[in-house]
Amino acid sequence: MHFFSKKTSFHRPLTCLAVIALTVAAPSTWARDTSADRIRLLEQKLQAIQIELERVKSESSQATQKVNTIQQKTDQTEQKVTTLEQKKVQLQERVGSDVTEKSRMLFFRGGFTHMMNQRDGVTIKSDVLPIGAQDEAGKNGWYAGAGIDWALTRDMWGFVPKTTVFAELMFEYKQFGSHVLGNGAVGNVPSMLAGGALNPINVTVSQFTLTASPKIKFFEGSKIRPWIIPAGLGIHVLSPPSQSITYIVPGVQFGAGIDYNFWKDFFIGIDGRYHLTAGKTDGINLSGMTAGGYIGIGF
Please state the φ and ψ torsions of residue 81, each to the nearest 5 degrees.
Answer: -60, -40
pLDDT score for 167: 97
Q: Output the CA angle 138-144-145, nearest 5 degrees.
A: 135
pLDDT score for 52: 87
Question: How far is it, in rounded angstroms, from Cα 268 to Cα 259?
Answer: 6
Every domain of the chain and the residues it spans: 1-95, 99-298
H-only helix segments in the chain: 2-95
State the pairing for strand pair 202-217/140-153.
unpaired
pLDDT score for 232: 98
Q: Counting Cβ atoms within 10 Å, is residue 223 exposed (0-12), middle (13-18) or buried (19+)?
A: middle
b/e per residue 186-209 (b: at least 16 CB within 10 A): bbbeebbeeeeeeebeebebbbbb
Q: Which of 242, 166, 158 is nearest to 205 (CA)?
A: 242
Q: Which residues contact 26 (CB under 8 A, 6 or more apart)?
A: none
8 Å CB contact between 139 and 259: no
pTM: 0.66
Question: How far is it, in rounded angstroms, from Cα 160 to Cα 140?
Answer: 39
Please state the φ and ψ torsions of residue 264, each to the nearest 5 degrees.
Answer: 50, -120
Q: Output the CA angle 182-186-192, nearest 5 degrees.
A: 95
8 Å CB contact between 168 and 213: yes
8 Å CB contact between 147 and 168: yes
Torsion sign across C-alpha atoms 65, 70, 72, 73: positive
Cis peptide before 230 (omega within 30 of 0): no
- CA dist 226 to 72, 252, 294, Å? 49, 21, 14
Would you state the CATH architecture of domain 99-298? Beta Barrel (2.40)
Q: Which of 197, 211, 218, 221 is nearest to 254 (CA)?
A: 211
Question: How far is it, in rounded angstroms, from Cα 105 to Cα 120?
Answer: 37
pLDDT (tens place) for every residue of the chain, 299 residues total: 444 444 445 556 566 565 565 555 555 555 556 778 888 888 888 888 888 888 888 888 888 888 888 888 888 888 888 888 887 766 655 544 444 457 899 999 999 999 999 888 889 988 888 888 889 889 999 999 999 999 999 999 989 999 999 999 999 999 999 999 998 888 889 988 888 899 999 999 999 999 999 999 999 989 999 999 999 999 999 999 988 888 899 999 999 999 999 999 999 999 999 999 987 767 788 999 999 999 999 99
pLDDT score for 218: 96
